[in-house]
Amino acid sequence: MSPWAVVFGGPSPEHEISILTGLQAERVLTRAGEQVVSLYWGPTGAWHLVPNGTEAKDYLEGAPAGARPVDVRLGADGGFFVKGRLRAERLEIAAALSCLHGGLGEGGGYAGLMALLGVPTTGGSLYASALGMDKLAFSGVVAAAGIPTLPRVALTADGDVPFDGPYIVKPRFGGSSIGIEITDDLAAARAVARASVHLRAGAVVEPYRSDLVDLNIAFRTHPSLEVSAIERPLRTAEGGVYSYADKYLAGGGGEDAGMAAAPRELPADIPEEVAERIRAYARRVAEVTLVTGAPRLDFLHDPATGDVFVNEINTVPGAMGLYLWADRVPAADVLRGMLVEARDAGVPAVPSGFGSGAALRAAGGIAGKLVGLEGPRA
């Protein structure tokens, strides 16, 4: 039987966090007796088969000792091929566990690549992954489904923002709280968007409300739709946002470093009525987004009014969100369920051949379709 693969790294600002998540996932699966291979996607795009049991520090200079280069080949006989002295050998994989955060890894590029390679993978389809990475598109889908969310609009050079400041400015495509800024006015928000490398690819703006607290929940879609415990992440500073440092640096080092060790209240001390609404909204988000696996859904809660708002979805959450399931599902079962779901679903089929050539036969000559496209005459 072919092994599972754990895929981590990737060209992304969240590259280091992906390494931590991947190493943790590999340990969980191997300790549970699963056959696992580890695939490291370097920040410049190179792929390597790396030994199991590596540590975070082994990646400070790139691929660790013992890494073997891997070719990625498209086509009828495509797949991952491990380079050897005489020839490259195909790496047989039952399904891959995506531990890729941000960038092409979480935003749909990796899902498309794996579909072309014929390798089943977790992390959602290309379409669901892209939706989850695009904060503006996700909030639009959520709002259209009648699920409460704060107003969120694209931040442009002169576009209207239909709410007053202060504002929170976020990368439209990105995660791990990287690049988030708080500003008092719109001019400052636009200046930040122009100056920040994390915001140049696109930025969204929302009303900043210091009275709201963060609440997170996960859901998993195999063997059936199920929701996790609810956590309240604890910020290290009063006010502000739940930052990169809060998520990944506040919990200290060691084997459990990363989001799983970040300060939190778990389960969150909230009224049961609020908790039930969050669980219901999570199930609804799963239905309308078609995201699969075990994503984490982030909420904002107003303790004074009891209001809750869907904030963002993380299709590949830090530490795979395993700590949210600790009171009900073993970590290995969460990961194994994701892999089995991906394996059984197979590679998404791409419809082709629609029309049986009718459009091509009716097209006539291409030259005729170019008439009038030359632009104005001198």
pLDDT at 328: 96
134 close to 173: Cβ distance less than 8 angstroms = yes
Listing DSSP states for 243-272 in one string gives -HHHHHTTT-SSTT-SGGGS-EESS----H
Cα–Cα distance measured from residue 60 to residue 127, given in angstroms and rounded to the nearest whole number: 33
pTM confidence score: 0.89
Residue type, 195: A
| Tokens 């050998």 sit on residue | 89
Within 159-204, where are the H helices? 186-195
Q: In the prediction, which pLDDT does 95 show?
A: 98
Nearest to 293 by CA among 336, 260, 348, 324: 336
> Which of the residues in the chain have pLDDT under 70?
175-176, 236-261, 350-354, 378
Q: Give the domains, in start order, of the chain with CATH numbers.
A: 4-124 (3.40.50.20), 151-208 (3.30.1490)
- Residue 107's identity, in one-letter code, is G
pLDDT at 248: 47
Residue-wise over 246-283: b if at least 16 C-beta within 10 A, else e? bbbebbeeeeebbbbbbebebebebeeebbebbeebbe
**Which SS3 state, helix, strand or coil, does residue 370 take?**
helix
Is beta strand 167-171 parallel, antiparallel or unpaired with respect to 213-220?
unpaired
pLDDT at position 233 is 93
Long-range contact pairs involving 114-117 (C-beta distance under 8 Å, separation at least 24): 114/347, 115/347, 115/348, 115/350, 116/74, 116/78, 117/72, 117/73, 117/74, 117/78, 117/79, 117/80
